[in-house]
Amino acid sequence: MNEFGDTANIEAKAINISSPEDPTAEGSEEFLELANGCLCCSIKDAGIAAIEKLMERKGAFDHIILETTGLADPGPIASMFWLNEEYSEGLSRQISLDGVVCVVDAVFGQQQMEEDHSVDGIGESLRQIACSDVILLNKADLVSEDKLTVTEEMIYKVNPSAPVHRTVQAHIDLAHIMNVNAYAGARQLHSTSFHHHQCDDKHKDHHNHATHYQLRGISSLQLLIPPLSQDQLAQLEQWIQGILWRNDEFADGSDSQSSRDVRVLRCKGLFITSAGEELMLQGVQNMYEITKVEERDVIGIPHSGKLVLIGKGLDNTVKESLMGALDR
C-alpha cells in the first residue's frame, strides 16, 4: 500500500506479515528487514530474498502485504512479483500478485498531484495512482465534499480503471482490497466499467471508439478494439511491443521525438479474435503478457475488445498509430 500524502524518507525497510492465528508465529506481526533499504531499489536481491525467506513459513499466513514508503514507484515492485525472470522459476509458482492499492490523502492529495503534474517526467504520486488497481481516498472526514469530488476527478483522469473508495482512518471492507485479482483472469476486465465524467465527455471520440483523458503530465487512453484476425492480432502485439519498449534504454536505440515522449506505466486489454477466442493483456512498465482466457473464466463473449493505456504522451498520435497498425 502506498501513501503519498506523507513525505517520509524512502529508507523504510520492512515487510510486515500479519499472522495472528498462527500458533507457530512468535508474535502477531513479523518484520523482515531489507538490508539495502527501499524495496524498489533492491528488487533483485533483497526483495526476492526477503520473500523467499517468508515463503519458508508458507502456510503460516494467507496474504503478504507490502507497504512501501510514500516515495516508492510501484511499477518495478509489481513487475517483480509478476514476471520477474528469476522469480518465475521459483516463487511465482507459489504466490501471485493480487493488486496494487494506493492510499491518497484527501487533505494533501490534490496539491501533491498538481505539483507532480508540473514537474518534468512523471511525479511519484501520479505513478502510484497510475499503477493502482484500487484507490482509497482517506481522511474523507477532514475535507469538504467539493474537495473530495475535485480530488476524485483528478484521480480518475490519471487512472480511469481503478475504483476509488472514500475512507476515514482507512477503514474499508477487506473485500475491496483483497482478492481483487487485478492481474489474474479476464473476469475483471469483462466487468470493468470505466469512470466517465462530464468534463471528460468532450474528449470522447465516438468515431474512433476512443476515450482520452488528458492531464498535463500523465494521461490514459481507452480504445475499443474490433474482433481481430490472426494477422491483426500479431500486428497488435507488435504495436504493443513498440509502445512499451521504445523508451527502454535497452531497446533498439530509436531516438525519434515520439519515442522520447511516450511512456506507458500500465496497460490492460481484452481482445477478441474473429475465431471467437478471448485474449487478455496485462502490462506494467515495459513488461507485458498476453494470455488466452480459459473457457471457465469467460462470462459471455463481448462484442469488442478494449485496450487501456495509462502513461505519458498518450495523445491522438498513439491512437492513430494503433488504428494504422490494425489496418495494415
Ligand X SMILES: Nc1nc2c(ncn2[C@@H]2O[C@H](COP(=O)(O)OP(=O)(O)OP(=O)(O)O)[C@@H](O)[C@H]2O)c(=O)[nH]1
Contact range with ligand X by CB under 6 A, out of 111-119, 133-141, 222-230, 250-258: 133-141
Please, which of residues 51-90 interact with ligand X by CB under 6 A?
70
In degrees and rounded to multiples of 5, residue 238 shows phi and psi of -60, -40
- From the number of C-beta atoms within 10 Å of its C-beta (0-12, 13-18, 19+), residue 297 rates as middle
8 binds ligand X (CB under 6 A): yes
Nearer to ligand X, 33 or 52 (CB): 33
168 binds ligand X (CB under 6 A): yes
Three-class DSSP category at 82: helix
Nearer to ligand X, 169 or 198 (CB): 169
138 binds ligand X (CB under 6 A): yes
Per the structure block, which three cell numbers stand in for 242?
513498440
Q: Cβ 146 to ligand X, closest distance in Å?
A: 18
Contact range with ligand X by CB under 6 A, out of 23-31, 43-51, 92-100, 134-142: 134-142
**C-alpha 302: how far from chain center:** 23
Contacts of 50 (CB under 8 A, 6+ apart): 15, 32, 34
Per the structure block, which three cell numbers stand in for 190?
469483462
141 binds ligand X (CB under 6 A): yes
Contact range with ligand X by CB under 6 A, out of 28-36, 137-145, 154-162, 240-248: 137-145
Nearer to ligand X, 77 or 236 (CB): 77
Q: Cβ 4 to ligand X, closest distance in Å?
A: 8
301 binds ligand X (CB under 6 A): no
Contact range with ligand X by CB under 6 A, out of 3-11, 20-28, 109-117, 279-287: 3-11
Sequence-ordered alpha helix ranges (H) in the chain: 48-55, 74-83, 85-89, 109-118, 124-130, 145-158, 187-191, 198-201, 230-245, 257-261, 316-327
C-alpha distances out from residue 168 to 142, 154, 310, Å = 9, 20, 28
Nearer to ligand X, 168 or 199 (CB): 168
- Give the CB-side neighbour count of residue 303, counting CA atoms within 13 A: 0
Contact range with ligand X by CB under 6 A, out of 17-25, 138-146, 301-309, 311-319: 138-146
Q: What number of chain residues touch ligand X (CB under 6 A)?
A: 11
9 binds ligand X (CB under 6 A): no
**How far apart are alpha carbons 153 and 3 in whole angstroms?**
18
The single-letter code of the amino acid at 56 is E
Q: Cβ 142 to ligand X, closest distance in Å?
A: 5
Which stretches of the chain bind ligand X, using CB under 6 A? 3, 5-6, 8, 70, 138-139, 141-142, 168-169
